[in-house]
Amino acid sequence: MTDRLVIVGGGQAAFALAAKLRALKDKRPVTILSLESVAPYQRPPLSKKYLLGEMEFSRLLFRPDTWYAENQVELRLSAFVEHVDRKNRRVRLQDGSFVDYGTLVLATGATPRKLPAPLGGDLQGVYVMRDKQDADRLAGEMQAGRRALIIGGGYIGLEAAAVARHKGLEVTVIEMADRILKRVASAETAGMIRNIHIGHGVTIRESTGLTRLNGEGGRVVSADLADGTTLPVDLVIVGIGVTANTDLAELAGLEVGNGIVVDEFARTSDPDIFAVGDCAELPWQGHRVRLESVQNAVDQAESVAATLAGEPAPYDAKPWFWSDQYDVKLQIAGFNLGYDDTLVRPGVREGSASVWYFQQGRFVAVDAINDAKAYVTGKKLLETGRAPDRAIIADPAQDLKLLLS
C-alpha cells in the first residue's frame, strides 16, 4: 500500500492543496496530474490583464517550475486520467500508465458550456473563455473595429465585453433572461452594471435569445436572434455558464449531483477520495451548493490538507467573489441564495454603491461596486454573524464602522 496523495487537476485547488500540505510539514509523496501543458496558474487574470496584453503569462504562475522539485511534488503535465480503480487504489491515464494512490483528490474543475453544433457552435470565430489556450486563441481576434457578439449576460460574458471594448471592438451582449446577471445578482446591481457597460458603448439586448449562428467558408459571419433580427458579427464569445467535470467520478461510481457530492470534510462517498473546488457540491447552511470561486478553491483545498495532516476541521465556507470590468471593481461578500429583500446604499464617491441582501430579515450578502469599505464591513459582519442596523446602511451619511462597534 502507498501513502501517495494523487491530485487530479492542475488548477487553483490542486496547487493550494499541495502547497498547504507542505506548509503543514506533511512529507507524504504528492503527484499532481494536470491535463494542461503548463504549470498551475491563476485563471482570473487570463480574461483581463493577460488577454489585454498587460501581463506576461509567467506572472500568472503560482510558483516557478523549480518549486515542485524543491518541495517533492511530482507535477505531470498533459496527463489525462481516464479511469479510477477504487478497488486497487490506482488511476489509469490515457497513455496506459497507472499511478497508485493512498488518498485521491479530484480537483477537476468545470468546463464552459458550448453552443451545440446545430446552432453554429462549431464555426470558426466562436470561443469560450476558461484557460490559457482559450485566451491565446481569442487574443488574436481582439482587433479594433471588429464586431463581437457576447452570448450571455453573466459575469463571464460581461468581463469579456469589457475587455473587447477596451480593445476597440464593437460589442453586443445578448441575454435570454429579462435582465443581465439574473441568476447571481439583484436587479439593482444588474442595473448599475448595465449602465456602466452602456456608458462604455456596449449594446445590451435583454430578453433576446440566439436562434443560430451563420457561417461562410466555415467561419461565423452573422447571428440570427429570436426576435427576428440578424446581426453581422466577426467573432462570438459564449458565456452561458459552466458544467462541473464529474465524468471521472461518475465512472468510478461516486455519488454525483450538481457536482461531486462531498461532506463537510470534502470527502466523497468513498472515504479515500476527496473532491475540491468548482467540481465539488458541498453542504452549506442547509443547502447543497457549488461555489465557483477562487476563495472556495483555496479554502476548501487547505481544509483537506489540514485533514490529511491530522488536523481535521469541518470546512465552513465564507464565500466571497469579485469581478473587474473597466475601472470598476465589484466585490461580493456572502452568498445571496434565497434572498427576499435588498437595500441600496449610495457610495461616498461618484460611481460607488453597495447592495445589501437579506433573507427573512437576516443579512446574507453584499455587492460592493467601487466601495471597499462596504465590502470589508459586510464581510466582517458575515464572519462574526452580527446583524447590521438597516438604518445605518440606508443612510450614506452614517459611517459603516458603526455596524461593527
| Whole-number pLDDT of residue 242 | 95
Q: Is the pTM of this model over 0.75?
A: yes
Structure confidence at residue 47 as a pLDDT band (50, 70, 90)? confident
Over 80: is that where the pLDDT of 112 sits?
yes
Specify whether the CB–CB gap between 281 and 288 falls below 8 A. Answer: yes
Q: Please name each of the domains of the chain with its CATH number.
A: 5-111+243-308 (3.50.50.60), 114-240 (3.50.50.60), 327-404 (3.30.390.30)
Q: Is 350 exposed, middle or buried (0-12, 13-18, 19+ CB in 10 A)?
A: exposed
Q: What is the pLDDT of residues 323-379, one digit of tens each?
A: 999 999 999 999 999 999 999 999 988 889 999 999 999 999 999 999 999 999 999
pLDDT mean across residues, the chain: 96
Nearest-angstrom CA–CA distance, 254 and 182: 32
Residue matched to cell numbers 480574461: 47
| Cβ neighbours of residue 342 closer than 8 Å, sequence gap 6 or more | 186, 188, 355, 356, 357, 358
Q: What is the pLDDT of residues 12-38, one digit of tens each?
A: 999 999 999 999 999 999 999 999 999
Give, for 149, the enclosing helix (H) or strand (E).
strand 147-151
Give percent above pLDDT 90 in the chain.
Answer: 95
Q: What is the pLDDT of residues 251-270, one digit of tens each?
A: 999 999 999 999 999 999 99
Coil, helix or strand for 179?
coil
| Whole-number pLDDT of residue 48 | 86
- Helices then strands, counting H and E runs in the chain, come out as 9, 26
| Whole-number pLDDT of residue 405 | 87
Average pLDDT over residues 203-224: 98
Structure confidence at residue 2 as a pLDDT band (50, 70, 90)? confident
Give percent above pLDDT 70 in the chain.
Answer: 100
Over 80: is that where the pLDDT of 1 sits?
no
Distances (CA, A) of 159 to 66, 109, 196, 245, 358: 33, 20, 12, 23, 27
Over 90: is that where the pLDDT of 240 sits?
yes
Cell of 31: 503527484
Over 80: is that where the pLDDT of 290 sits?
yes
Q: What is the pLDDT of residues 383-399, one digit of tens each?
A: 999 999 999 999 999 99
Coil, helix or strand for 331?
strand
Structure confidence at residue 249 as a pLDDT band (50, 70, 90)? very high
Average pLDDT over residues 137-143: 93
